[in-house]
Amino acid sequence: MKLIFDRQHRATAKKEGSIELRITWQRKQRFATTGIRVLPRQWRNGRIVNRIDALELQDTLDAYVAKARKVVNDLTRAGTLDMATIVDAINGKQKNDATENVRQKLLPYMMERAAVRKYGRAADSCERYDRFLRWFEKWGGMQTFDDLTEENVMKMDAALRRKGLKPYSKWNNYHRFLNSFILDAVNDGIIRKNPYKHVHIEKDKSSGGIGKYLTLDEFRRMEALEPATNYLQHALDLFVFQTYTCLSYTDLNAFDASNIKEVRGRKVYTANRGKTKQEFTFLLLAPAQAILDKYHGKLPMMSNVKYNEYLKVLAMSAKIKKPISSHWARHTGATMLLNMGVEMEVVAKILGHSSTKITRQVYAKLLDDTVADAMERFEKRLSGSGATATYGQTGL
């Protein structure tokens, strides 16, 4: 017996891999999942390291291996060791029907895996898992592992389309979660194949951010509003502050003025994103500082639900016909920065993206427009300076 990490080579620096127990006997191998997943840097020489709960997880692994050895020894002494059923024997499952695996209820397994996947994540990430599971149970289109078919994945996609969801939202809020649970089931040996392998679900990742921003004119109209109630004024101030800082709602809610530092006479805010733990930094611009001063360093926070409700009222007042929400402020701020020529690396640092690749992906369509505008200006300069004729003469 031997513990094996990431047998299918799917782990990355930020994606956990499964730890399995390999049982070898008479040139036959079986793999039993331990239910424990860690990052590559947390697995060294067959042991779990670099985690706060490393000792507890290692004790769990050791107990699992000890139990497996006892089961194998008992079966060997009884002369009933069977490699076809050894994993079930170790896990305490005696199956009378070879197809019982796929007849098991799907939702309990998904809820169990969700509890593991949510461990240590931010509250908004956990809520997305819960929201998906609530919808999936209500939809009811897949009840058992046997229902994980290509046809049912397409039926689920059709159901989401009937809800009016766009490709980005369908994948990011629904299919992505089901796919993650299916990958776990494949790793655990419950099912053999992933139906998503041959079903193409449009992701359209590039539209996630670029479709959700205000133009500079729209933002100015929002900024100039004079709301009739304190609640609307608070929502407006939060939106303006968010736009000038590019904060997500989670990080806005966690905003701590004590993180502001003086750097060469300027106020700079640095923290780690609640969602990804990635560090971000931005200069506290004058409009944002004015709002912070207005509330004596403590922003007038409210629930995201109420915040979004008030923002829709404010948008109507500003004659903006867009379904804005709190996250639009983050995208609006980033869009303005890019349109004004701020370098991609700087915008990525402000947003707390781990690389410019993420920034480029989210704002790809905007960048295409920016490139086109830049080339159009270049063409006009050529025409105005007479350079076009020179261009033609050189044959370039």
For residue 48, being part of any structural domain is answered with: yes
Question: Looking at residue 258, what is its pLDDT?
Answer: 93
Average the pLDDT over 348-362 and give the result. Answer: 80
CA 133/CA 137 separation, integer angstroms:
6
| Greater pLDDT, 366 or 348 | 348
List strands edge to edge, sheet with 266-272: 260-263, 266-272, 279-283
In this structure, the answer to whether residues 221 and 147 fall within a common structural domain is no
Side-chain half-sphere exposure of 139, counting CA atoms within 13 A: 21
- Let me know if 170 is exposed, middle or buried by CB neighbors in 10 A (0-12, 13-18, 19+): buried
The answer to whether 336 touches 219, Cβ cutoff 8 Å, is yes
Would you state the pLDDT for residue 176? 92
For residue 4, which phi and psi values (nearest 5 degrees)?
-120, 135
Distance of alpha carbon 243 from alpha carbon 43, whole angstroms:
41
Does residue 228 sit in the same domain as residue 349? yes
Q: Are residues 223 and 346 in the same domain?
A: yes
Distances (CA, A) of 77 to 22, 71, 203, 270: 20, 10, 54, 63
Q: Is residue 391 part of a domain?
A: no
Query: What is residue 368's predicted lDDT score, i.e. its pLDDT?
Result: 58
Report the share of the chain in percent with pLDDT over 70: 88
Q: What percent of the chain has pLDDT over 90?
A: 43
> What confidence score (pLDDT) does residue 366 get?
62
Q: Do residue 60 and residue 162 come from a single domain? A: no
230 in the same domain as 358: yes
State residue 141's pLDDT score: 93
**Same-domain status, 229 and 308:** yes
What CATH number did the domain enclosing 107 receive?
A: 1.10.150
347 and 221, same domain (yes or no):
yes
377 is a domain residue: no
Instruction: State whether 69 and 124 are in the same domain.
Output: no
Place of tokens 């730890």: 19
Contacts of 84 (CB under 8 A, 6+ apart): none
Domain boundary among 183, 204, 225: 204
Pair 201, 170: CB distance under 8 Å: yes
| Residue 385 forms part of a structural domain | no
**pLDDT (tens digit per residue) in 233-290:** 999 999 999 999 999 999 999 999 999 999 888 999 999 888 778 889 999 999 999 9
Beta bridge partners of 24: 29
Q: pLDDT by residue (tens digit) across 292-344?
A: 999 999 999 999 889 999 999 999 999 999 889 898 999 999 888 888 888 88
Looking at 24-38, 172-186, 223-237, which range is the least confident one? Answer: 24-38
User: Residue 374 falls within a domain, yes or no?
Assistant: no
Look at residue 200 and tell me whether its pLDDT is greater than 80: yes
Round the average pLDDT of the chain to a whole number and report it.
84
Q: Last residue of a domain, which of 46, 64, 94?
A: 94
According to the model, what pLDDT value does residue 390 have? 37
Instruction: Name residue 267's beta-bridge partners.
Output: 262
Say if 386 falls within a structural domain.
no
Name which residue leads in pLDDT, 45 or 379.
45
209 vs 343: CA distance, rounded Å = 18
Boundary residue ending a domain (174, 204, 234) = 204
Output the pTM of the full model. 0.51
Q: Tell me, what's the pLDDT at 221? A: 95
Structural domain including 141 reads 102-204
Q: What is the CATH number of the domain that holds 306?
A: 1.10.443.10
Strand 47-48 to strand 260-263: parallel, antiparallel, or no bridges (unpaired)?
Answer: unpaired
Residue 396 domain flag: no
What pLDDT does 231 receive? Answer: 94
Same domain as 221, residue 200:
no
| Domain shared by 358 and 220, yes or no | yes
Do residues 113 and 157 both lie within one domain? yes
Domain count, the chain: 3
- Long-range CB pairs of 193-196 (<8 Å, 24+ gap) are 195/148, 195/149, 195/150, 195/152, 195/153, 196/153
In a domain, 144, yes or no: yes
| Per-residue tokens: 115 | 């509890």
